Structure 1
Amino acid sequence: MRWHKRLLAAGAVAAVTLTAAACAGGKVRGAEGSPQPGASQSAADATFVYVPNLDVVTDWDPASSYSNEIIAMENIYESLTRYNPQTKKAEPRLATSWTSSPDGKKWTFTLRSGATFHTGKPVDAAAAKASIERTMKIGQGAAYIWGAVDKIEAPSPTTLEFTLKYPTPLDLIASAGYASYIYDTTAESGDLKKWFGEGHDAGSGPYTIDSWQKGQETELTLKAYDAYWGGWSGPHYKKIAYRVTPELTTAWQLLQRGEVTFVQRLNAQLFAQASSTPTVQTSQTPSFQNLLTLFNTVSGPLKDVRLRQAVQKAIDYDGLVAAMKGSGVAASGLVPEGLLGYSTSQTPKQDLPGAEALLKQAGYGPGGKRLDLTLTYAQGDSDQDLLVTLLSSALDKLNVKLTAKPLQWTTQWDQGKAKDPSKRQDIFVMYWYPDYADAYSWFVNVFHSAEPISFNLSYLKDAGIDKEIDELPALTATDKTAAEKAYGDLQNKIINEKAAVAVPYVQNYQRAFAKSVQGYTDNPAYPNVVFVYDLKPGA
């Protein structure tokens, strides 16, 4: 699961709180023995202490990992490419260059010479081929990203060739935050999955696992991989510690005292305080992560499209964004700004008279029957709490009773996937973000027919919509203008005609980190990831 969709859980990535690993609660555990970067450390010994509010690791296997551990995995493992949000293109990582045939069905990647795995073995084309094939065979997590691949060949140590069943943007896919990792499949001669699960790694990234203590406050520490192909000349953080701190006020206090380096998320009040603290710097970056309010299209009262449209119109979109004080921005459709398929014409507005009229058409609303609805959302997520409070108030005026339950992600997800439709909720609230920098993830995961149910928690089943979704990768690879139109048409059908979802906001990432950190930028394609190797520890 991703934090609530990997993240989906608590508020999402940062509210991720969101997230899967399941929204961790509980008291902050003792800090004895936690690395504390401070003035006494030399640059050579500098430890970057990252403070997540949820447990870090749920799955160590790079083939199936699909949750919070992305914040560590992206420092341990590497992919062929990495997405650059400034250029909106993939850039070299383990591959230095690549070409595609005119029809988009043959891709050739040239691999970097001299890179090695943490096992000491070379990162060559045969190893890359083996890792991708293993990920495809296991078929878990985000392995679907390789669905177009028909055949992989390694004609030379630095040449990796893909033959595809249909055209797809393989350079973007190879930059995915999940399932794109290149790893040494020969790292363990026995049960490789079990070996990974014990806290071993077989990556090629700048850091390797130093210690892993599930349930401890400092859950995970990484150390520099001395033979990293990028080298270690100049100032670098040589160690990374992930110190789980569920309470935001505690995280803020640790940052103020100089005991930690980077706080993934603060609430609006603490973020404002951090912005005016001399020893701290902050950043606010638009993300590719939005909140989805999914409506049950097949059972319960909301199987009536008029009632789904009424709830859409009852949401106070502007009021919610204003109350979030910068942690969210208005959404326009399903696709966040910065991705192919974003539309400026889908910004929703509250329309209570319109909602009342639709309710009356269906026999509900003021003067009619009371409509009773159930909603589930992420426990401990202040932004989702705001949504529920505002929506409950608006619906109450329309003679609609909303019973909302905050739940841990696994509990919420299990209810949403219940085989008995009567046990499912009417409205399911969760976050979503793409597996790679492409909008396809929303459509194929959340709105394509699925049996058994996974993330299609509006339960939408429409053969025409499925067909259009299936055509998106090829269009994206061969005709971006047609792809833009297809995304627009799909959003109109899913949001307006089918009323399967409302999108209240897109999250802004708000970070607070030590003044000494140099070079930090957020990359929305890798939610909550800090690429620590790229940073310089300062005085």
Structure 2
Amino acid sequence: MRWHKRLLAAGAVAVVALTSAACGGGKVRGAEDSPQPGTSLSAADATFTYVPNLDVVTDWDPASSYSNEIIAMENVYESLTRYNPQTKKAEPRLATSWTSTPDGKSWTFTLRSGVKFHTGKPLDAAAAKAAIERTIEVNQGAAYIWGAVDKIEAKDATTLVFTLKYPTALDLVASAGYASYIYDTTATTDDLNKWFNAGHDAGSGPYTIDSWQKGQETELTLKKFDDYWGGWSGQHYSKIAFRVTPELTTAWQLLQRGEVSFVQRLNSQLFAQASTTPSVQTSQTPSFQNLLALFNTQSGPLKDVRLRQAVQKAIDYDGLIAAIKGSGVAASGLVPGGLLGNTPGMTPKQDLPGAEALLKEAGYGPGGKQLDLTMTYAQGDSDQDLFVTLLTSALDKLNVKLTAKPLQWTTQWDQGKSKDESKRQDIFIMYWYPDYADAYSWFVNVFHSAEPISFNLSYLKDDAIDKEIDSLPELTAIDQPGAEKAYADLQNKIINEQAAVSALFVQNYQRAYAKSVEGYVDNPAYPNVVFVYDLKPGA
């Protein structure tokens, strides 16, 4: 079920049928209980109102959750560690400290004492072991992050020991935005997955579910967990509301009127307006999320590597960056800056004469046969719309006709995975971001050969590349210079030699939020998450 995550990444609106039921810790909210338009939510109410543009929850189970609900889950659940983008290291969360053996194959975590689950039960090493083992057993979402784990032992109430099959940076793995949550596996004697997806939670975070009603504008509210280990001294928001507002102009109006606290994303025009509005703050932060154009290496006309390289050269990378007006920066290879594996000197440039020469060599281009290509991309994504316009224009000059189809994510993804190769697209556009602050995710998910097809939508099959990808976790743990070299080599092979992909740009996160919100810092390792407990409601 890995597709859940890409709903958020692609920005496509998917309709997921989930049944709303009585929510843990609260009542079933009726429509009459939802905040009505025109009702101001001031800082004095201590409610932080977050505006996403998509439905919030697709899966409440912390073992398999892999989508938009990360924005709520990171406030309800906690992991052993959390990634700090300033230090570029994992920092304490439920674990206060950790050590590893020199070979990187044994890790010992010391857990925080006095932590309670929202169920009232204590969080100890045995409970943490049970949660991680259940996530591994469920084997959905991002459960692959625990792939190195051979055995987990609860030595005593606060000591958790991992024995690994191969070395890996387990402190970083444990900070993942998905599949790393520690939760009470004994929360119910019934089916735990069904219990979670009825709107219950069993986390240890500062907030717990207050009400959830799928399909309502205010879909979800969280309330403070009184027994949170961090305490509630000082000023904190006591509630979080998630108000689903697909139209950006509506979101902007709500923010201006003081009805909401935080808008996840505005277009370039509205963001510029927000930057000069006295009652609003803005932030722009480089992300770990990039937009990829994946080329079909196995079937259709792009099976010819010369034609893939020609399309790569036809892309107006600089023009695209200029057109999206600050919401993205130039990519250098597949790995965004700030992560091990980012390789300087790999920023692509448009080369129309080079593209024409390659097309001519393959029997196409001006004066030759017309090349017909198909492309699928996310419906409703303005940045991808601009890319389509620019690429269509550039290819038209080269006697290449591009038929580009905007689709909802699930439709696009199903077409890309079709067993009938004739139904697959020539070019597949999608965002990618890592499950934790490590570049491995791009390679193992997107470019490692896979059967059945999941996210390898260039359909690349190369044994040597697979072998090098498989070596990355161990190298990252014990030989970082070797890992840097392997990442650079892989990117050269995948982008230049195989021409399986073009990295179009790295997204900037552009946020707008109320002047009253104090202490907000964007953390690119947790896309679109606001850690509300860390904020202070100002005047």
Report if aligned partners of 1:21, 1:58 keep a CA contact under 8 Å in 2: no
Q: TM-score, normalised by structure 2?
A: 0.95
1:368 aligns to what? 368
The Cα of 1:18 is off from its aligned counterpart by 4.8
Q: Distance in 2 between matches of 1:521 and 1:480?
A: 28
1:186 equivalent in alignment to 2:186: yes
Report if aligned partners of 1:330, 1:347 keep a CA contact under 8 Å in 2: yes
Q: Distance in 2 between matches of 1:6 and 1:484?
A: 30
- Match of 2:64, SS? coil
1:135-174 equivalence runs, <5 A:
135-174=135-174
The Cα of 1:34 is off from its aligned counterpart by 1.6
Deviations, residues 473-503 of structure 1 (Å, cap 9, x unaligned) = 0000000000000000000000000000001
The one-letter amino acid paired with 1:33 is S
1:386 aligns to what? 386
Deviations, residues 162-182 of structure 1 (Å, cap 9, x unaligned) = 000000000000000000000
Q: Distance in 1 between matches of 2:11 and 2:356?
A: 34
1:407 aligns to what? 407
2:231 aligns to what? 231
Call closer, same or farther: CA 1:36–1:223 in 2, change over 3 Å.
farther
1:8 aligns to what? 6
- Match of 1:376, SS? strand
Deviations, residues 145-177 of structure 1 (Å, cap 9, x unaligned) = 000000000010000000000000000000000
Runs of 4+ in 1 over 2 A off after TM superposition: 5-9, 16-22, 30-33, 35-43
Q: Distance in 2 between matches of 1:42 and 1:491?
A: 48
Q: Distance in 2 between matches of 1:83 and 1:140?
A: 22
Call closer, same or farther: CA 1:32–1:123 in 2, change over 3 Å.
closer
1:313 equivalent in alignment to 2:313: yes
2:63 aligns to what? 63
Q: Percent identity?
A: 82
1:72 aligns to what? 72
2:470 aligns to what? 470
- Match of 1:8, SS? helix
Deviations, residues 7-32 of structure 1 (Å, cap 9, x unaligned) = 534xx64xx5257677xxxxxxx997
Report if aligned partners of 1:376, 1:425 keep a CA contact under 8 Å in 2: yes
The one-letter amino acid paired with 1:514 is A
1:71-470 equivalence runs, <5 A:
71-470=71-470
Call closer, same or farther: CA 1:538–1:303 in 2, change over 3 Å.
same
- Match of 2:504, SS? coil
Q: Distance in 1 between matches of 2:38 and 2:84?
A: 30
- Match of 1:193, SS? helix
Q: Distance in 1 between matches of 2:160 and 2:33?
A: 47
Deviations, residues 315-364 of structure 1 (Å, cap 9, x unaligned) = 00000000111000000000000000001111000000000000011000
Deviations, residues 231-275 of structure 1 (Å, cap 9, x unaligned) = 000000000000000000000000000000000000000000000
Q: Distance in 2 between matches of 1:121 and 1:187?
A: 9
RMSD (Å), alpha carbons: 1.7
Would you say how many aligned residue pairs link Structure 1 and Structure 2?
A: 527
Q: Distance in 2 between matches of 1:330 and 1:386?
A: 15
1:17 aligns to what? 11
Report if aligned partners of 2:288, 2:525 keep a CA contact under 8 Å in 1: yes
* Gap runs ≥5 in structure 2: 17-30
- Match of 2:6, SS? coil
Call closer, same or farther: CA 1:299–1:477 in 2, change over 3 Å.
same
Call closer, same or farther: CA 1:38–1:223 in 2, change over 3 Å.
same
The one-letter amino acid paired with 1:327 is S
Q: Distance in 1 between matches of 2:34 and 2:71?
A: 22
Report if aligned partners of 2:41, 2:47 keep a CA contact under 8 Å in 1: no
Deviations, residues 409-448 of structure 1 (Å, cap 9, x unaligned) = 0000000010111110000000000000000000000000
Q: Distance in 1 between matches of 2:273 and 2:222?
A: 30
Q: TM-score, normalised by structure 1?
A: 0.95
Call closer, same or farther: CA 1:40–1:280 in 2, change over 3 Å.
closer
